[in-house]
Amino acid sequence: MSSIVAIVGRPNVGKSTFFNRLIQRREAIVDAVSGVTRDRHYGKSDWNGKEFSLIDTGGYVVGSDDIFEAEIDKQVELAIEEADAIIFMVDVESGVTGMDEDVADLLRKSKKPVFLTVNKVDNNKRAEDAVEFYSLGLGDYYTIASINGSGTGDLLDALVEALPDNEEEEVVDELPRFAVVGRPNAGKSSFINALIGEDRYIVTDIAGTTRDAIDTKYNRFGFEFNLVDTAGIRRKSKVKEDLEFYSVMRSVRAIEHSDVCLLVLDATRGFDGQVQNIFWLAERNRKGIVILVNKWDLVEKDTKTAKEFETYIRKQIAPFTDVPIVFISVLNKQRIFKAIETAVEVYNNRSKRIKTSVLNDVLLPIIENYPPPAYKGKFVKIKYIMQLPTPQPQFAFFCNLPQYVKEPYKRYLENKLREKFDFHGVPVSVYMRKK
């Protein structure tokens, strides 16, 4: 499980540019699956072998200039509450502003590690100008230029050193962990209450009633697992907080703690951008996924409605379309146990181990009949396949020229793995290795 790092600061200081640079670094080095960088506001990154989730608060500031300050204060408060470390970004071109001082006031009161980062420092004159940011009272600062990456190495060295060593904190639990995630007011808590047969969580029509991630042990009908809901009681003082941002912070935590994510969406609102962001976060964390379309009883439908809705969702989540979609109504308790059965199946698929001999017997003849395309007159020969010893399905294909195997052929191999061994609902990683 990785830590959470939040990038905070007023608009237009370069937070998103810095964020995108780190995400691209991660995509280029670690992630072997293409076509997944759709989330704008959060993603995975690593530095010196230490992985962390990165949240760009800038994407959540909405409305006109006169409410920017209040929105930013709310986001900084949430970041302080949820993140393990905070990067506070300021702009050397405009110097210290009133909004910077307000954010600094909030950060000085927190006990979280804060990294004051002065952006747009791309020459010696600007490096001298950055001295004025000592006045914010946050100690030493780091000078960077998001646009070209200069200075980011020193910042990231210090950042990962300050992050907690999560591996030591994790407790080994034999039970599967199913996270119930989704937009506010989609019916997550009602779903869990219906499953366990009691009002374990407070449910209201007010979006964001649920606050803290709590585990519930489920042991019925031959199934036993932990349900992780982003649940709890919401304080009145927080009623006006930025719910979208808060739900993302909670979703990151819940997803990273889970084996399978039950993504609950409101059928009357559809598979919108926020739901898609949570889906891609789960996919990039290599978790099993089940999509639950709740409030299906409220939708006017005919014989084709469910099929059309499912087709629309699969189009939005391409190329990872091998995901179960269950239409439920928590209020009427329609298909909620079907949802759990499906989640257990996905968990079993994610935990599946395939013998090396079986892998090679099944896939090598298929590869022989349809080998990788030749590249610059050179032929790629795949000789051997094995499953890697990881919690999720990852496969190494050993060949003579791994650098010449392109993404379309890797996708073909992934599809064959799904077809022959059933990895329904689970992201599969394919790596090419030198034999």
pLDDT by residue (tens digit) across 71-90? 666 777 777 777 899 999 99
pLDDT band at 322 (very low <50, low <70, confident <90, very high): very high
Residue 13 annotated as part of some ligand binding site: yes
- In the predicted model, what is the mean pLDDT of the chain? 82
Residue 124 annotated as part of some ligand binding site: no
Residue 47 annotated as part of some ligand binding site: no
Residue 304 annotated as part of some ligand binding site: no
Is the pLDDT at 133 greater than 50? The verdict is: yes
- Transcribe 322-389 into DSSP letters: ---EEE-BTTTTBSHHHHHHHHHHHHHHHT----HHHHHHHHHHHHHHSPPPPBTTB---EEEEEE-S
Stretch 45-49: mean pLDDT: 84
Residue 295 annotated as part of some ligand binding site: yes
Residue 376 annotated as part of some ligand binding site: no
Any idea which of 29-38, 130-139, 285-294, 344-353 has the lowest mean pLDDT? Answer: 29-38
Is the pLDDT at 339 greater than 60? The verdict is: yes
Stretch 319-336: mean pLDDT: 93
Residue 189 annotated as part of some ligand binding site: yes
Residue 9 annotated as part of some ligand binding site: yes
pLDDT tens digits for range 243-269: 556 666 667 778 887 999 999 999 999
pLDDT band at 34 (very low <50, low <70, confident <90, very high): very low
CA proximity to 343, closest of 378, 291, 416, 293: 291
The pLDDT value given to residue 197:
73
Residue 255 annotated as part of some ligand binding site: no
Any idea which of 77-86, 167-176, 349-358 has the lowest mean pLDDT? Answer: 167-176
Residue 59 annotated as part of some ligand binding site: yes
Residue 288 annotated as part of some ligand binding site: no
Could you tell me which residue, 62 or 289, shows the higher pLDDT?
289
The pLDDT value given to residue 226:
85
In 5-28, which positions are buried (b, 16+ CB within 10 angstroms) versus exposed (e)? bbbbbbeebbbbbbbebbbebbbe
Q: Which two tokens stand for residue 301?
A: 């439908």
Is the pLDDT at 202 greater than 70? The verdict is: no
Specify whether the CB–CB gap between 209 and 239 falls below 8 A: no
Stretch 221-238: mean pLDDT: 60
The pLDDT value given to residue 297:
92
Residue 193 annotated as part of some ligand binding site: no
Could you tell me which residue, 230 or 306, shows the higher pLDDT?
306
Residue 190 annotated as part of some ligand binding site: no
Any idea which of 174-178, 233-237, 243-247 has the lowest mean pLDDT? Answer: 233-237
The pLDDT value given to residue 24:
64
Residue 238 annotated as part of some ligand binding site: no
Residue 188 annotated as part of some ligand binding site: yes
With vertex at residue 157, the alpha carbon angle to CA 154 and CA 158, rounded to the nearest 5 degrees, is 90
Task: Give percent of the chain above pLDDT 90.
Answer: 48
Residue 121 annotated as part of some ligand binding site: yes
Residue 355 annotated as part of some ligand binding site: no
Residue 273 annotated as part of some ligand binding site: no
Residue 186 annotated as part of some ligand binding site: yes
pLDDT band at 68 (very low <50, low <70, confident <90, very high): low
pLDDT band at 211 (very low <50, low <70, confident <90, very high): very low
Residue 229 annotated as part of some ligand binding site: yes
Q: Going by DSSP bridges, is the β-strand pair 42-47/50-56 parallel, antiparallel, or unpaired? A: antiparallel
Most confident of 44-53, 85-94, 222-231: 85-94
Residue 43 annotated as part of some ligand binding site: no
Specify whether the CB–CB gap between 386 and 367 falls below 8 A: no
pLDDT band at 149 (very low <50, low <70, confident <90, very high): confident
Q: Which two tokens stand for residue 170?
A: 């994790």
Residue 350 annotated as part of some ligand binding site: no
The pLDDT value given to residue 130:
94
The pLDDT value given to residue 364:
96
Any idea which of 4-13, 176-185, 194-203, 232-241 has the lowest mean pLDDT? Answer: 232-241
Residue 16 annotated as part of some ligand binding site: yes
The pLDDT value given to residue 109:
87
The pLDDT value given to residue 83:
86
CA proximity to 191, closest of 346, 344, 343, 329: 329
Residue 137 annotated as part of some ligand binding site: no
pLDDT band at 66 (very low <50, low <70, confident <90, very high): low
The pLDDT value given to residue 349:
96
Is the pLDDT at 28 greater than 60? The verdict is: no
Task: Name the strands in the sheet holding 394-399, side by side, starting at the edge strand that comes first in the sequence.
Answer: 382-387, 394-399, 429-434
pTM of the model: 0.71
The pLDDT value given to residue 208:
45
Task: Give percent of the chain above pLDDT 70.
Answer: 80
Is the pLDDT at 278 greater than 50? The verdict is: yes
pLDDT band at 110 (very low <50, low <70, confident <90, very high): confident
Residue 377 annotated as part of some ligand binding site: no
Stretch 3-11: mean pLDDT: 86
Residue 296 annotated as part of some ligand binding site: yes
Specify whether the CB–CB gap between 392 and 284 falls below 8 A: no
With vertex at residue 37, the alpha carbon angle to CA 24 and CA 350, rounded to the nearest 5 degrees, is 110
The pLDDT value given to residue 384:
95
